A = this chain, B = another copy of it.
Amino acid sequence: MIYNYGTGDQENWLVLEPVFNSKALGKCEVIMALGNGYMGMRSATEERYVGETRNTFIAGTFNRFHPSEVTELPNVADVFQMRINLNGYPFDLTTGEIQEYKRTINLKTGELIRTVTWRAPDQRRYQLKFQRFVSLANHHLTGQKVTITALEEPLTLKLFSGIDGQMTNSGVQHFIEGERRLFNQNVLQLVQTTSESHIDVVVSSTHRFHINQQPHEPGRIIHMDRRQIFYEYDIQSDQNTPITLEKFSYFATSRDLSHEALLLDEIRAKAVEALSKESEKGYDALLLESAQAWEKTLWSVCPIHIDAADGFDQLAIRFAQYHLRIMTPVHDMRMNIGAKGLTGEGYKGHTFWDTEIFILPYYSYTNPEIAKRLLTYRYLTLEGARRKAKENDYEGAMYPWESAWLADGEVTPVWGAADIVTGESTKIWSGFIEQHITADIAFAVWQYYQLTGDEAFMTAYGYEIIFETARFWCSRLEWSDTDQRYHINQVVGPDEYKEHVDDNAFTNYMAAFNIQLAINYSEALGRKAPEDWIYKLERLYLPEPQRDGVIPQDSTYLQKPTLDLTRYKNSAHVGEIFRTYNLTQVNALQVSKQADVMILMYLLENQFSPEVKKANWDYYEPKTLHDSSLSLSTHVIMATDLGHDSLAYDLFKRAAEIDLGPKLHSSDHGIHAASLGGLWQSIIIGFGGVRMIDGRLRINPHLPEGWRSLKFRIFWKGEPLQITITSSELQVEKTDTQTRIEIEVFGKYYIFDEKVRIVYRD
């Protein structure tokens, strides 16, 4: 795949597929996915191909197929597919000849456009243009436009279009088939209901035709097959006379907050009415409304400008912001972000620490309202977290490793991929013992609070999360008579290639941070912190740097044999090492999946000296396979801190290429949500050097060599700051001149009320 970054006002806004490649279906479906946080659709083509994955997900509509499985986001009926028959030949790019081809996603407007000049097997040529968007202005709505022109002879077009409810999640059918009907002689509607959570999903579609811009009523026959309702249209047009189809679809569910008090029939009627009304406006007007919403709610709110030799960097951050927006259910606090957004079945739509540690900083810094909503989700899931604690004989709130609907509690599946040695499924331990998530959430609450000063949030939700999580940790600690200290044994840390370890440094330090936070906030609220918390925190074992400065990742890591990892680090496949070793064997080696001690040093950066950071970088990075997309961004930031500037930029490029790069199958299961948040962090926290250190703002820029400037906006204590960084200067502008803020830049402190311009390097 090659990227063209657009020219003129499209410059660095376009991702382009210049050549049709039937092996790259998954890649384009995902990186060109559409959505609005309410729903997300993979951009499978209108015509079908072997190897495609057609997905439509609506946030929060979780369903459990069977008690032996965990809940997941079900794959809703598909509206984008069409069978197009041109003078007797099915439009299929693996046949005939492609004379021109271009597919682009315009990140600015959210429109997907594909143009093709195709010569059918009978040598007749056609021009086809396909356009699509998922509306950001009306989050139930999608628009689609297809323009077909026969270039050499008149066209007899047969077109099958409607709603296809035969979609599954890799063979799992979550829906009971409901009614299919035609309303008002123009709205097709299909109802489906999830089998266990009993959520009704109502999908409605309507079509409008034009020939040469004149409205046209084609001949049509309605078909209802199993879980399908569609029209077969017959249309004739002359040579060089375009036939245009506009198709609008409307998705509504009984889970929607606005539908909570409605009967299914009312939701259905409302959908027909809304769709009929919206579709009157036509494709172009509806697209414009949506593009305006993109501008108003995203691009004008937190623009990022990178003036760089390589336009790819600018494109990459816009790509990240685009995808972060379409994956985030800003409309409903009962929902959160899935590890693959709404673009694939991977991780079943579940929420992980990815949200708090990798994505939330983006929102806390740039759109605190959204950050608050995402954290409120964690408050709303406290019930499940308390239940998980109780089930494990702990107190307080033990957050699930994977989280779905509010009261679900832990939803991590128990069985994973095949063990290459035994041929059996591998047990997934994360749901049982990857416990750091509980501290990660407390950390994110603290970070949000520090950045925003949002006392109301803390009073309503934040303090309770921090106290409940601290209670969990205190009950979780295990006393050792040997060293007279508390330990956290038998866990999985961020490095998931080490299972059942004791005293994982990241986990222990973050737990201590969490307890300390609770103690601080107790006291700040004028209450006395429980003795128990103080007692246990004082005696909690925190692995110290050894003589060489290296902090043991866990109690046994440093004693394990090492291995030459060159082959695996350079592999084209994630998880290449499992083609040679099974997990038990990898467990016994000094091999890490991802940042572990490194991310500790990033999150709690002022607890470790530069020397210790350097020693740990030098020790752990060579042992880290970066087999998780969560790994690289942390390493970018640490590399900037350690002065490895060109390495930092190389790692940034690699991180940006996780989805946007040339590996055709890297995105098949969905977009790498955390990695996109990490990309923002790499730029703003890493190269921009923006940090919140114990509640204070520090900006130590380290622009990559090829970057002339970096401009962006962040919110600090509720106020937008416009920041411009060049290779030598930093400028910060405020809008509210009534307030004053202080920033630290390379050890110097600046207090200002309007604007400050600092030459940080000569």
- From A178-186, A299-307, A435-443, A606-614, give the one contacting chain B: A178-186
B176 and A66 contacting across the interface, CB-CB below 8 Å = yes
A222 and B420 contacting across the interface, CB-CB below 8 Å = yes
Is A555 in contact with chain B by the CB < 8 A criterion?
Answer: no
On chain B, the residues within 8 Å of A69 by CB distance are: 177
One digit per residue, 1 when the CB lies within 8 angstroms of any chain B CB and 0 when it does not, for chain A 726-738 equals: 0000000000000
- Rounded to whole Å, the gap between the CB of A172 and the closest CB of chain B is 6
Q: Which of B94, B166, B579 contacts A95 (CB 8 A)?
A: B94
| Given A176-B68, A579-B221, A423 contacting B185 (CB threshold 8 A) | yes
State in angstroms the CA–CA spacing of A171 and B22 once bound together.
24
| Given A171-B168, A229-B418, A66 contacting B195 (CB threshold 8 A) | yes
B171 and A165 contacting across the interface, CB-CB below 8 Å = yes
Interface centre among A69, A417, A418, A579 (most CB of B within 10 A): A418
Is A762 in contact with chain B by the CB < 8 A criterion?
Answer: no
On chain B, the residues within 8 Å of A66 by CB distance are: 176-177, 195
Residues of chain A in range 154-213 having any CB-CB distance to chain B below 8 Å: 165-173, 176-177, 179-183, 185, 195
B424 and A181 contacting across the interface, CB-CB below 8 Å = yes
On chain B, the residues within 8 Å of A424 by CB distance are: 181-182
* Nearest B-chain residue to A94, judged by Cβ: B94
A425 and B180 contacting across the interface, CB-CB below 8 Å = yes
- Rounded to whole Å, the gap between the CB of A568 and the closest CB of chain B is 15
A181 and B423 contacting across the interface, CB-CB below 8 Å = yes
A171 and B167 contacting across the interface, CB-CB below 8 Å = yes
Is A50 in contact with chain B by the CB < 8 A criterion?
Answer: yes
On chain B, the residues within 8 Å of A182 by CB distance are: 418, 422-424
A223 and B181 contacting across the interface, CB-CB below 8 Å = no
Residues of chain A in range 403-443 having any CB-CB distance to chain B below 8 Å: 417-418, 420, 422-425
Q: What's the number of copies of this chain in the assembled complex?
A: 2
Is A393 in contact with chain B by the CB < 8 A criterion?
Answer: no
Is A225 in contact with chain B by the CB < 8 A criterion?
Answer: yes
Is A758 in contact with chain B by the CB < 8 A criterion?
Answer: no
- Rounded to whole Å, the gap between the CB of A97 and the closest CB of chain B is 13
State the majority secondary structure of interface residues on A.
Answer: loop
State in angstroms the CA–CA spacing of A413 and B432 once bound together.
45
Is A331 in contact with chain B by the CB < 8 A criterion?
Answer: no
Is A750 in contact with chain B by the CB < 8 A criterion?
Answer: no
Is A285 in contact with chain B by the CB < 8 A criterion?
Answer: no
A170 and B224 contacting across the interface, CB-CB below 8 Å = no
A224 and B417 contacting across the interface, CB-CB below 8 Å = yes
Is A49 in contact with chain B by the CB < 8 A criterion?
Answer: yes
Q: Which of B168, B173, B224, B417 contacts A418 (CB 8 A)?
A: B224
On chain B, the residues within 8 Å of A223 by CB distance are: 417-418
A170 and B423 contacting across the interface, CB-CB below 8 Å = no
A168 and B168 contacting across the interface, CB-CB below 8 Å = yes
On chain B, the residues within 8 Å of A177 by CB distance are: 66, 68-69, 172
* Nearest B-chain residue to A579, judged by Cβ: B221
* Nearest B-chain residue to A49, judged by Cβ: B50
Q: Which of B92, B95, B172, B579 contacts A226 (CB 8 A)?
A: B172
- Rounded to whole Å, the gap between the CB of A36 and the closest CB of chain B is 26
Is A227 in contact with chain B by the CB < 8 A criterion?
Answer: yes
On chain B, the residues within 8 Å of A654 by CB distance are: none
A168 and B176 contacting across the interface, CB-CB below 8 Å = no
State in angstroms the CA–CA spacing of A424 and B229 once bound together.
10
State in angstroms the CA–CA spacing of A587 and B368 once bound together.
66
The 4 A-B residue pairs whose C-beta atoms are closest, nearest first, are A182-B423, A166-B171, A224-B418, A173-B173
Extra 5 A-B pairs, beta carbons < 8 Å, given A68-B177, A171-B226: A66-B177, A66-B195, A69-B177, A167-B171, A172-B227
A and B contact pairs by CB, cutoff 8 A, 22 listed: A22-B95, A50-B92, A65-B173, A66-B177, A66-B195, A166-B171, A170-B226, A170-B227, A171-B227, A172-B226, A173-B173, A180-B425, A181-B424, A181-B425, A182-B418, A182-B422, A182-B424, A183-B423, A221-B420, A222-B418, A222-B423, A229-B418
